[in-house]
Structure 1
């Protein structure tokens, strides 16, 4: 773990290339870090479990509906107590829900670089910032690595079943979320929490 004496961290500066960030001054954000880490983990486990269950019971096509309807519902379910939870990707399937903002884009690019350089299995990042109105926010991101079952919808185009490709084209005409291999960073869970 790298200890920083910074209250704010600007991503993309090269100051941090490790997965876990802590603050030296009595770790005032440790509670937020742990809380958001647990939320991200629980969210990812619940979504993965639902996807697996649907694929096993009704086939890969049913997974498309899970990502289209269940995942956004889970995001809303976990967006409580001043938290905003969403999934973002450099190659979003749903442009209106999964497109990262500038800060998230930089974090995702850094996750990709770390993964390609043999970084740790769990990639995460935390920042604290003030918005234009002076509100202080804790922002946590956790990378989503591509799992083998993800390739049925997110793998190389030639490896995706024709019926799945047809349904994806119908549901997501601007789909960019294919071409992944196992282990590549598919996106991230992004959680913003108001802290003052």
Structure 2
């Protein structure tokens, strides 16, 4: 067995220390990114629920669909400003998207397929955090609730005016036919690494 010189031992120890220190530095960043992503996802769901509930109370489900079509994307894009993190981006996406602006990209589609497989296997769904190109990507799974089913539920149970509004506003709609508690999609929060890098 070849002898290892003192210099070689020091290099190995140094490399191990660097790896450990790097991991130690990354862990707080990941935790901050995860918390920021969770807060953004919560805030988006709160804002959307408030808007849709008000719309339903004011004009019924048909009005809620119009609010979704006209305001949901703007409300989603406004979350970073609301949270005072303008370099962050927020998006809702699904394998069965309704608005073409919410079509998943390659990374989102991969995560969505992974979560869909877990949901089909009746395994618990948890938020996912990934680091790519110096940006943390936080994915919060969305499941359908009673309010969602107003416009995303079984078509035969929808009022005629709701179906007509959906057909008019979303001719390529893929987002109907869900039951309560089904996996619907994700909220994707993109956070530049620099945002969470400060000690």
Question: C-alpha distance in 2, partners of 1:105/1:52?
Answer: 30
Partner of residue 122 from structure 2, selected from 114, 118, 121: 118
**What's the C-alpha RMSD, in Å, of the aligned pairs?**
1.7
* 1:25 match: secondary structure: helix
Check conservation: 2:43, 2:79, Cα contact below 8 A.
no
Larger strand fraction of residues: 1
Larger helix fraction of residues: 2
Question: C-alpha distance in 2, partners of 1:127/1:67?
Answer: 29
- Pairing of 1:50-129 with structure 2 (within 5 A): 50-79=51-80, 80-95=85-100, 97-120=101-124, 123-129=126-132
Question: C-alpha distance in 2, partners of 1:111/1:48?
Answer: 23
5+ residue gaps, structure 2, are 1-21, 195-199
Shift of 1:118: 2.9
Name the count of aligned residue pairs: 167
2:188 corresponds to which residue? 190
Deviating 4+ runs (over 4 angstroms): none
TM-score, structure 1 length as denominator?
Answer: 0.79
Pick closer, same or farther for the CA change 1:33–1:48 going to 2, 3 Å.
same
Check conservation: 1:112, 1:184, Cα contact below 8 A.
no
TM-score, structure 2 length as denominator?
Answer: 0.78
Question: C-alpha distance in 1, partners of 2:127/2:46?
Answer: 16
Shift of 1:24: 5.6
